Structure 1
Amino acid sequence: MARMAAFIVLLIPGLMAAAGIKLMRDTLFGVLISPIPWIWLQFVLGVALFLAGFSFFAGFLLHRDRKKGKVSERWQK
């Protein structure tokens, strides 16, 4: 059950990062998604979603590796 919960916790930020990449890609090709009024806002939202999802995923992995003692001395608290 704990593995399933960890999978769901990592799935949500992964989907956020994927949506951010899709928004940025659509902006580069000039496709405007309907609820967003401006193309530059779509790109900014895409970057924000990507960075939020990626940073959560990276922080989760860093926290897990710190607990197991698998990080270098530079990243220890």
Structure 2
Amino acid sequence: MARMAAFIVLVIPAILMAAGIKFMRDTLFGILISPFPWIWLQFIVGAIFFAVSFLFFAGFLLHRDRKRGKVSERWQK
């Protein structure tokens, strides 16, 4: 059960990251999606989705590697 919960916790940011990439890609091709009134807002929301999801994954990996002692001394607490 714990593995399933961890999987779900990692799937949600993956979906947000994919949505962020899609929003930014649609902006570059000039496609406006309905909830956004302006195309520049669509790009900013996509960039925020991508950045937050990416930082979540990076923090998760750093935390896991710190627990296992696989990071250099620079990244230790």
TM-score range, shorter chain: over 0.9
Q: Does 1:18 align with 2:9?
A: no
Deviation at 1:35, TM superposition (A): 1.1
Task: Give the alignment's TM-score, normalised by structure 1.
Answer: 0.97
Where do 5+ consecutive residues of structure 1 fail to align?
none
Where do 5+ consecutive residues of structure 2 fail to align?
none
Identity rate of aligned residues, in percent? 77
Deviations 1:51-76 (A, max 9, x none): 01110111011101101101111110
2:55 is matched with 55
2:41 is matched with 41
1:66 is matched with 66
Task: Give the alignment's TM-score, normalised by structure 2.
Answer: 0.97
Aligned residues: 77
How well do the aligned residues superpose, as a CA RMSD in angstroms?
A: 0.6
Q: Which amino acid aligns with 1:44?
A: I
Separation (CA, whole Å) in 1 of partners of 2:2 and 2:61: 16
Separation (CA, whole Å) in 2 of partners of 1:4 and 1:72: 30
